[in-house]
Structure formats: C-alpha cells, structure tokens
Amino acid sequence: MLIRRAPRFTASEITDPKLYLSRRELISGTVAALVLRPGQSDGATPQGQPLSATRNAAFSLSEPATKFEHATTYNNFYEFGVNKDDPSRLGGTLRPRPWTVQVDGFVHKPKTFDIDELIRLFPLEERVYSLRCVEAWSMVIPWIGFPLASLLKRVEPTGQGKFVEFTTLLDPSQFPAQKPGFFGYSSLDWPYVEGLRLDEATHPLTLLTVGMYGKVLPNQNGAPVRVVVPWKYGFKSAKSIVRIRLVSEQPKTSWEKAAAQEYGFYSNVNPAVSHPRWSQADERRIGEFRRRPTLPFNGYADQVASLYTGLDLKKFY
C-alpha cells in the first residue's frame, strides 16, 4: 500500500544536511564519551556507528530535531529501570549483536532473520517523526528504518492473522530490571509485549527502526531493532524486538496487564481523552519552555484517522 500525499512543508524548510551534520559532529564526541563504556566500543556492538539512509521527505516533519544528547539520555525503557536516566546509564549491558528476529504466526513463510540480514534486505529511509510520550512530553527524532509492511509482505501473511504482536528480549543478564527486586517485585510482567492491528502494522507510517540521527540505534533507544508508530503514545513502539508474530486475537500487552484503565490497546495520541490521572491536552516538547497543544493522532490525523472510522476513541483509548 502506497499513499501519496503532498508534503506538509516546502523544500526550503528542510534543514540543510550540512548544518545538520555539523551539529551531529559537534555532539557525537560528547555523546560517545557519555554513552560508550569501556569494553563496549568493540566491533561486536556497532552502536554509534554511522548508518546511511535516504531522507524520505514525504514522511518527515520540518521541525528541528530534538538534541541527540536529550533523545539518548531521557528515555523510558523499563527493562533498564523506571527512571529516565536508567537506560543511558545502564544500557551497556545490552548486547545488540548477534541478534535474531523471529517472524512467524499466521504467515506462509515464517523465518528467523539475522539483524544484519534484515538491515540489508530493505532500503533504509530516514524519517523525521514526532514522538509523543504518554507522560505528556514529546521529541522530534530522525529515525532510520524501513516500513514494517515490507517485512510482513515478505513472510506472506495467511489472512488469519488480524494482529501483530511484538516481543522484546527477555534476558535479565542484559536487562537488569528484569531481575526480581525486593519481595520478588517487578515493575512489569516480562517479556514486554506490544501489539498493533494488522492494518496499523502495515500502515506506511509504521517504521521498523534500526537507527537514528544518522547512526546505528543506541542501546537505550531500543537497539538493535524497534518499531516506531508515530501516531500512538511512545510505549506502543516496542524496543529490542526478538519476535514479530501474526496472531488472530488482540494481544494482551504488558501495559494493559499492568494498568488497563490507564494504558489501552489502541493508545492513539488523543488530546480529548485524558489519562485517568493527568490531562493529555498539551505536552512539553523537549527543548521548549512552554507547553504546546497536543494534536489528535500526534499530528498524523490526515494519514491515519481513516483507520478508526466508526470506532469510539473514548472507549477504545
């Protein structure tokens, strides 16, 4: 499915790549020092290495990207801990190579892909998306990846699969917070499971992501492969994926298990539906001082609203 749409901005609004790259160089030194730990910079873990991709202007925002430093130090990645700085502090334990992704379920050609094979199979695109966290903050991030639809097409869905289930790696030796804490306490029921309806998963905006800011995806951002679904709250975009499965029933997601009344299966960004404890009407864009209004479907309404015609978004939040 290819939906052609007029770009939402003119070519002159796009940041000149030279400017963009120079800023990147400026930051990369500092970030490398922050992110890389001793013993981590060996060839086995390519995070931080450049990754080339063609900018897909039709799917990119014209707004300036969030600082790389902020996008890599202010993260929610519960496998490392519940605090925003846990993923960047503790991310060194994750080993993104070797890595395989099992794609199975209701497909004619189930297959386990090696991560490097996966990256070579499909042309990589750079897309600048807005990321809206359910906690009412947002970022603008240049992701690198390819449409999840391309991968799903390759394994040939059988028609019985109505949903796509994503599973994150379960390995307490790589994800410290997966070890039980006091009294066997665990923040979430591991492994992390997320899901999309098949039409959401195959929507051209849904990006299987292996890099950001012109580089291989950092551990704290979901290395080596994650999904990015820009019209939904960030937690819907599963990180460090080991399995993509086509299923016939709506998957039971980790956050639904933890607090179903707060984190629904759909979790489309919606300023009209409050989180039970706070408003979703506005958000703080990281790097900006004042709050800004939140847009329906995080600004992607013209592309995705049609997926939900006839669905009560207040009920199916």
Partner 1 sequence: MSRPTRIALKVAVWGGCLAPLALLGHRAWTDDLGANPVSFVTNTLGDWTLRILLASLAMTPLRIVFGLAWPITLRRLLGLFAFAYACLHFSVWIVLDFFFDWPRMWADIVKRPYITVGMLALLSLIPLAATSTTEMIRRLGARAWTRLHRLVYVTGVCAVLHYLWLAKVGVTDPYWYAGALAVLLGVRGWDRGRRLVRRRRRAAVPATSAPAGS
Residues binding partner 1 (CB under 8 A): 66-67, 69-71, 73-74, 78, 82, 84-85, 135, 137, 181-182, 185, 187-188, 255, 258-259, 262, 274, 277-279, 284, 286-287, 289-291
Nearer to partner 1, 68 or 163 (CB): 68
Nearer to partner 1, 104 or 262 (CB): 262
Task: Kindly state the smallest distance separating residue 276's Cβ from partner 1, in Å.
Answer: 9
3 state SS of 243: strand
Nearer to partner 1, 6 or 33 (CB): 33
Is residue 193 within 8 Å of 249, Cβ to Cβ? no
Rank residues 34 and 124 by Cβ distance to partner 1 and give the closer one.
34
Measured from the CB of residue 29, what is the shortest distance to partner 1 in angstroms?
17
107, 156 contact by CB (below 8 A): yes
CA 45 to chain centroid, in Å, comes to 20
Please state the closest distance from residue 56 (CB atom) to partner 1, in A.
26
Tokens of 200: 């959401």
Instruction: Give the nearest distance from C-beta 286 to partner 1 in angstroms.
Output: 5
| For partner 1, the closer CB: 197 or 284 | 284
Q: Where are the beta strands (DSSP E) in the chain?
A: 54-55, 100-105, 111-114, 125-132, 137-147, 163-168, 193-197, 207-212, 215-216, 226-228, 241-247, 282-285, 292-293
Smallest CA-to-CA distance from 75 within 256, 220, 269 is with: 220
- What distance in Å separates the CA atoms of residue 50 and residue 40, rounded to the nearest whole number? 16
To partner 1, the closest distance from the beta carbon of 185 in angstroms equals: 7
